[in-house]
Amino acid sequence: MRQKGISLNIRPVNPEEEDIADDHVATSADTPMREDAFNMDDEEKIDLIEKHFREIMNVLGLDLTDDSLNGTPRRVAKMYVKEVFSGLNPKNRPHARLFENKYNYDQMLVEKDITFYSHCEHHFVPIYGKVHVAYFSSGKVIGLSKINRIVQYFSKRPQVQERLTVQIGKEMQRVLQTEDVGVVIDANHMCVASRGVGDTNSKTGTAYFSGKFKDENIKREFLNYINSK
């Protein structure tokens, strides 16, 4: 199996870095990626991940000759590359076609309660919840489904919620050619609920407001709408 010059620089994690992970601190608004991240194709990545995940299961003492477990390493590898982390690959970035705002709609447009599933980059366990997106047209609009696709694209990668919020907001600005964008995310973090403090009731909220959404009245209108039943 070819690895095309991939170099895996692995170093021990010091206690301070473990604290960063527990406190859910993001180090950048961009997803941290190596320059050679796409030197391998998807099938090569699946083969390697399968091999390494099989070893993890062996270390844990699982019997991989069991019919229920034997196919798990391959299933996990395909899931990582093709599904839950497919948003790492820029070739999967949704193409959002712009349309003229011929009906001259000049009010806020809101797409609320967009369900998303992501994974915490510190423990690789699920983050899930709702994303609410709003914008004012600068003369262009996009199909509503494209907003959902933008959310899904940035969700399908190892994430922290703060970064996810910013990435969705900035992509909406770029695609729509407008500064007037608002994003709110309410999410559950399984790294909080299923490990560590074990709090199953708490949720995390983040927001991104730019352009007109920095005006308190417009911000309040947006928040009131997404909180209404």
Catalytic residue among 50, 119, 121, 132: 121
Catalytic (active site) residue 122: yes
Catalytic residue among 159, 161, 167, 173: 161
Distance CA 154, CA 92 (A): 10
At 128, which helix (H) or strand (E)? Answer: strand 126-135
Catalytic (active site) residue 177: no
Catalytic residue among 24, 119, 120, 132: 120
Catalytic (active site) residue 221: no
Distance CA 197, CA 8 (A): 32
Catalytic residue among 50, 122, 152, 171: 122
Catalytic (active site) residue 191: yes
Catalytic residue among 24, 132, 159, 191: 191
At 169, which helix (H) or strand (E)? Answer: helix 161-176
Among 113, 188, 101, residue whose Cα is nearest residue 151:
113
Specify the length of the chain in residues.
229
Catalytic (active site) residue 44: no
Catalytic residue among 24, 119, 123, 132: 123
Distance CA 12, CA 19 (A): 14
Distance CA 222, CA 219 (A): 5
Question: Which pair of structure tokens corresponds to residue 123?
Answer: 């423990």
Q: Provide Rg for the chain, Cα atoms.
A: 20
Distance CA 187, CA 156 (A): 15
- Dihedral sign for Cα atoms in the order 39, 54, 82, 112: negative
Q: Indicate which residues carry an active-site annotation.
A: 120-123, 161, 189, 191
